[in-house]
Chains A and B, each alone.
Chain A
Amino acid sequence: MTATVAEREVGRARLRKEDAHLIRGRTRWTENVTVPGMLHLAILRSPHAHARITRVDVSAALRSPNVVAAFTGADLADLQGVLACAWPVTEDMVAPTYTPLATTEVRHVGEPVAVVVARDRASAVDALEAIEVDYEPLPVVLDMEQALADGAPLVHAEAGTNKCYTWVFDSAQAGTGGDVAQAAAGAEVTLKRRYVQQRLVPAFMEPRSVLVDPGQDDITIWSATQIPHILRFLLSATTGVPEHKIRVIAPDVGGGFGGKLAATPEEWIAFAVARKIDRPVKYTESRWETMVSAHHGRDVIQDLTLYARRDGTVTGLEVKLTANMGAYLGLVTPGVPLLGAFMYNAIYKIPAYRFECTGVFTNTTKTDAYRGAGRPEATYAIERIMDDLAAELGMDPVEVRRRNWIAHEEFPYTTVAGLVYDSGNYEAATEKAMQLFGYEQLRAEQRARRESGDPVQLGIGVSTYTEMCGIAPSRMLGALNYGAGGWEAARVRVLPTGKVEVVTGTSPHGQGHVTAWSQIVADQLGVPFEDVEVLHGDTRTSPKGLDTYGSRSLAVGGVALAMACGKVRDKARLVAAHLLECSPDDVEFADGAFRVRGTPTAAKTLAEIATAVFTAHDLPEGMEPNLDSDAVFDPDAFSFPHGTHLCAVEVDTETGQVTIRNYACVDDVGTVINPLIVEGQVHGGVAQGIGQALYEEAVYDSDGNLLTGSLADYTVPSAADLPSFTTDRTETPATTNPLGVKGVGEAGTIAATPAVVNAVVDALRPYGVDDVPMPCTPERVWQALQQAKEAAA
């Protein structure tokens, strides 16, 4: 018997290693980094949503105090390269040329037109005013349906159309399910609904910043990015600078939420300017620049048709999307809706499914990934229409879900979209959530308020979601025409004293990878949590990786790390056997050490083995003195977290005010490495989902000016706008990776929005309201009530 069992790190609510410098202000945001000789860059941006540029004159700016250089798009034409879209979703997709600085035409307000480089930022910004630009305004098109109509003004005249692509999935054609036409013919209930996903702004708190230092032999870039590795690859591929001559560092990065999953004009401009003048230049955007230039999210019109029997069984689903690309295609713009294409069927056994998405260009800031990327949209639509089905049939919304969801004993389950859900237990999560929430009591209160005609009505919203995350199996990405793979890399270096350095290809910006990865390694190698150092976010120390987005870091990168640790153990076992004078087959890794089977006191720790390997005096014959190991994990499948979120709102029918009374959720994200971090991710995700439901919307005026260009106008929720959430978990491990993990980064955002809006609509159903467009502001709620009243009159 072993005397002590080392406490497992995985599953512990470890406080974060990341915090120490952040709570002291000892931070390295890109904007905090300075290098000798550094100059400051400011960017002149288009005030027009669509215009021809007939003249740009920077000569007066060049004469401004402290100005070192100023350039037009034409000046940098040979250096600046182009911004690439990595996801040509169809063969015939329209992919317009996207230059960092515009040269002949601008297509949205905020598009970069010219730059100034000066000794200090204020001088650079001052000198922008001296730049003269002559614009010849062109017709503007903002509305997607108008953009698709005949004779509409064209965002890209040379394309001859505003349609970017149409992408279709049909379960009958794919052989994954039936024909929706047959479902339509046999339907006892047909529901047609249009939902509008308003345009959102990711609104990471750290504005984007980039510093480019052209050294003698190579170029170093610090950037507030989620994707240092992809950035290096793309800079090289589009500018011709060899990849090995580019070093990208993502230092402390202040949030991303998909908004920094981007190859930005600003990065390319800074790269070109620094090379042109051979001086380090730094650019940090203002918040207005973030709002008009960093990509937006959502902005999709969803037309759904649901077919069902009167017993509540769903028999078919048709989804038709119109998705706003904005003026240009960002890194994965066209693919974002497709990440939802496989999710509209959600947790349900829907026998026939058809999905069609048309991407549209408009004179607006481009859209791209925002937390959940395609999956919140899908979940919102299906969860809304399931509630409508329940209402139509006079059934409880939970009951209608029960009649359609995949039962826990049916896993693994191949869906109508062709994905294999490996594991899940929707019954358990829903049961637990209903108890936490007090579902029956709240329903009773709702009935009482309805009966008494209380002007403040209670609504209960249900959202039972799943998502595909852990992006992603490279083969599946290839099948979807995505330009890269989805593997992730890790390296484990064992130092002579037994401390461990871990190199990860993931690139955290708030997720706590340093802490969670340390926990994984501690268990895998039997070393103390404190003895693990995690290195990331610098292509020189971490040359291989595909970065952080799509809830992939743990489910792909964490698994790669565990695999690398496995290779270290394999090597260490040989050394341990040699030192313990036994066969390697007799050595097992147990309770944090390499032990002789049956004689557990005969053991070697990793530190002892590391020292033996370091001296290399007495190693097994022919063994290389090295424990370090690499691994790359390319998953076979996505992972599928799921959960049940329940929201109760009070709606004042006289003022339209919505107040969240109670929010409870039970998420199943598989095996949990650190419950503290998981809870934090759920909180933040739910807050962003509530933001979409109740507060946030990017709004343009009819000329294409962004009216919500500041945090005064774009309402990121504050502490006073949000409730406390009751969170809990069920834990059904993934069967598709050795850690059993699924991912948690996007879950809350995906689940929360429909839970809240379903609650708002539920409160108002007795008044004849079956939709309130997002965000459900008091004004919109009040209008929905008035319209229902007028319709009834």
Chain B
Amino acid sequence: MPQISVTVDGTRYTDDVPARTLLVHYLRDHLGKVGTVVGCDTSNCGACTVLMTDHAGVPRGVKSCTVLAVQADGREVTTIEGLGGDHPVQRAFHERHALQCGFCTPGMIMAAVDLLRDNPDPSEEEIREGLEGNLCRCTGYQNIVRAVRDAAAQMRAEPASAPDESAQPVGVSGT
């Protein structure tokens, strides 16, 4: 059984996992990070979206149902639970009523954080295109678009609260 070492929401974990374990199941079943959810079998819904650092250390949005846990070895993963609760995107989702049942929300918020890292000032169309991989059945997306625009403006005005600041490990030395 492969051993992996992965930092999730600032905590470093070392585990033996069956090779076929998906990252989302590792997060949920091994680490108890049940804030990240599974909504489909085909990577269409995006409910499981988390941030994972790429080879250059840049946190990028991934659908954790299409990443094997072993692929996260040596990487840093940020889930909705590691976003801190007061992230501008989280605040904007609340203030703009961008969620109803809330099931897609963790993935949608993480996808939005990823989008804004890539494009700090997206147009409505760019937001809609950027979130195409995340399905919501409740909101019709209009308030999600508004929330992402608000969050973008907020983050441009207050760069200190840019993504991942709040998710930095506390008491853990950087890699």
In the bound complex, CA of A24 to CA of B79 (Å): 9
A23 within 8 A of B: yes
Cβ A205 vs Cβ B103 within 8 A:
yes
Cβ B142 vs Cβ A25 within 8 A:
no
Cβ A712 vs Cβ B81 within 8 A:
no
Cβ B37 vs Cβ A31 within 8 A:
yes
Minimum distance in angstroms from A234 CB to a CB of chain B: 24
In the bound complex, CA of A506 to CA of B105 (Å): 23
Q: Secondary structure at chain A's binding surface: helix, strand, loop or mixed?
A: loop
- Which of the residues B97, B129, B131 comes within 8 Å of A676, measured between beta carbons? B97
B152 within 8 A of A: no
Quick one: which of A23, A27, A203, A684 has the most chain B CB within 10 A? A23
Given A205-B45, A711-B40, A724-B124 in contact, is the A510-B145 Cβ separation under 8 Å? no
Cβ A204 vs Cβ B99 within 8 A:
no
B109 within 8 A of A: yes
A722 within 8 A of B: yes
Given A31-B37, A718-B132, A718-B135 in contact, is the A711-B90 Cβ separation under 8 Å? no
Given A29-B103, A510-B138, A687-B140 in contact, is the A680-B81 Cβ separation under 8 Å? no
Cβ B35 vs Cβ A686 within 8 A:
no
In the bound complex, CA of A436 to CA of B101 (Å): 30
Q: Which residues of chain B come closer than 8 Å to A255, judged between CB atoms? A: 100-101, 103, 137-138
In the bound complex, CA of A684 to CA of B99 (Å): 10
Interface string of B35-76 (1 = CB under 8 A from A): 111111110110100000000000000000000000000000
When C-beta atoms are compared, the residue in chain A nearest to B29 turns out to be A120
A286 within 8 A of B: yes
Q: Which residues of chain B come closer than 8 Å to A35, judged between CB atoms? A: none
Cβ B105 vs Cβ A206 within 8 A:
no
Cβ A27 vs Cβ B35 within 8 A:
yes
In the bound complex, CA of A300 to CA of B145 (Å): 35
Cβ B81 vs Cβ A287 within 8 A:
no
A interface size (C-beta, 8 A): 54
**Chain B interface: which size bin?**
35 or more
Q: Secondary structure at chain B's binding surface: helix, strand, loop or mixed?
A: loop
Interface string of A633-659 (1 = CB under 8 A from B): 000000000000000000000000000
Within 8 A of B (CB), among A666-693: 676-677, 679-680, 683-688
Given A27-B35, A680-B100, A687-B140 in contact, is the A16-B47 Cβ separation under 8 Å? no
A776 within 8 A of B: no
Interface string of A710-731 (1 = CB under 8 A from B): 1110001011101011000000
Within 8 A of B (CB), among A327-377: none
In the bound complex, CA of A271 to CA of B13 (Å): 37
A707 within 8 A of B: no
Given A510-B102, A710-B42 in contact, is the A683-B139 Cβ separation under 8 Å? yes
When C-beta atoms are compared, the residue in chain B nearest to A748 turns out to be B140
In the bound complex, CA of A705 to CA of B85 (Å): 44
Minimum distance in angstroms from B109 CB to a CB of chain A: 7
When C-beta atoms are compared, the residue in chain B nearest to A286 turns out to be B41
Minimum distance in angstroms from A392 CB to a CB of chain B: 34
Q: Which residues of chain A come closer than 8 Å to B162, judged between CB atoms? A: none
Minimum distance in angstroms from A293 CB to a CB of chain B: 14
Interface string of B71-106 (1 = CB under 8 A from A): 000000001110101000010011101011111111
Q: Which residues of chain B come closer than 8 Å to A20, judged between CB atoms? A: 94
Q: Which residues of chain A come closer than 8 Å to B81, judged between CB atoms? A: 24-26
Cβ A725 vs Cβ B100 within 8 A:
no
Cβ A719 vs Cβ B144 within 8 A:
yes
Interface string of B110-144 (1 = CB under 8 A from A): 00000000000000100111011111111111111
Q: Which residues of chain B come closer than 8 Å to A511, judged between CB atoms? A: 100
Cβ A718 vs Cβ B131 within 8 A:
yes
Cβ B139 vs Cβ A680 within 8 A:
yes
A257 within 8 A of B: yes
Q: Which residues of chain A come closer than 8 Å to B139, judged between CB atoms? A: 680, 683-684, 687
In the bound complex, CA of A722 to CA of B140 (Å): 8
Minimum distance in angstroms from A322 CB to a CB of chain B: 28
Cβ B138 vs Cβ A25 within 8 A:
no
In the bound complex, CA of A685 to CA of B129 (Å): 21
Quick one: which of A204, A677, A719, A722 has the most chain B CB within 10 A? A719
When C-beta atoms are compared, the residue in chain B nearest to A203 turns out to be B137
When C-beta atoms are compared, the residue in chain B nearest to A259 turns out to be B137
Cβ A205 vs Cβ B136 within 8 A:
yes
Cβ A687 vs Cβ B141 within 8 A:
yes
- Which of the residues B44, B79, B99 comes within 8 Å of A22, measured between beta carbons? B99
Q: Which residues of chain A come closer than 8 Å to B4, judged between CB atoms? A: none
When C-beta atoms are compared, the residue in chain B nearest to A14 turns out to be B97
In the bound complex, CA of A710 to CA of B65 (Å): 15
In the bound complex, CA of A254 to CA of B45 (Å): 13
- Which of the residues A26, A29, A512, A684 comes within 8 Å of B140, measured between beta carbons? A684
Cβ B47 vs Cβ A205 within 8 A:
yes
Minimum distance in angstroms from A364 CB to a CB of chain B: 21
A277 within 8 A of B: no
Cβ A25 vs Cβ B79 within 8 A:
yes
Interface string of A295-327 (1 = CB under 8 A from B): 000000000000000000000000000000000
Cβ B142 vs Cβ A288 within 8 A:
no
In the bound complex, CA of A52 to CA of B44 (Å): 35
Minimum distance in angstroms from B20 CB to a CB of chain A: 8
Cβ B45 vs Cβ A711 within 8 A:
yes
Known: A23-B85, A720-B129, A724-B142. 18 other contacts (CB 8 A): A19-B102, A23-B94, A25-B80, A25-B106, A26-B81, A205-B103, A206-B39, A206-B101, A287-B42, A680-B97, A680-B138, A683-B141, A684-B138, A685-B140, A710-B40, A711-B39, A718-B135, A722-B141
Using a CB–CB distance below 8 Å, which chain A residues touch chain B? Answer: 15-16, 18-20, 22-27, 29, 31-32, 120, 122, 203-207, 252-255, 257, 286-288, 509-512, 676-677, 679-680, 683-688, 710-712, 716, 718-720, 722, 724-725, 748
Can you name 11 A-B residue pairings with CB atoms under 8 Å?
A: A15-B95, A19-B93, A122-B20, A255-B137, A287-B41, A510-B138, A710-B42, A710-B44, A716-B135, A718-B134, A720-B128
